[in-house]
Amino acid sequence: MIITITLILSFLVALNFILLLFSCNKTSKKTESKKPRIIRNEKPILASTQLQTHQLAATGS
């Protein structure tokens, strides 16, 4: 009984390591072009509307 459990656990651990070896994401070493990034600092316009009292969500307190 103990030998059976040990063999099953050993098999599952070995299978886990084999799956880990083949499932790793391989990253390619591509060189990125050195183009400057254009950053725009536009502030979005926030339009807020006030809700009626019957439309307010419950606060839980």
Q: What is the pLDDT of residues 26-55, one digit of tens each?
A: 666 666 667 777 777 677 666 666 655 566
- Higher-pLDDT residue of 54, 16: 16
pLDDT at 51: 56
pLDDT at 9: 97
Tell me which H or E stretch contains 47: none
pLDDT at 12: 97
Lowest mean pLDDT: which of 1-5, 10-14, 37-41? 37-41
> Cα dist. 38→32, 35, 41, 45 in Å?
16, 9, 10, 21
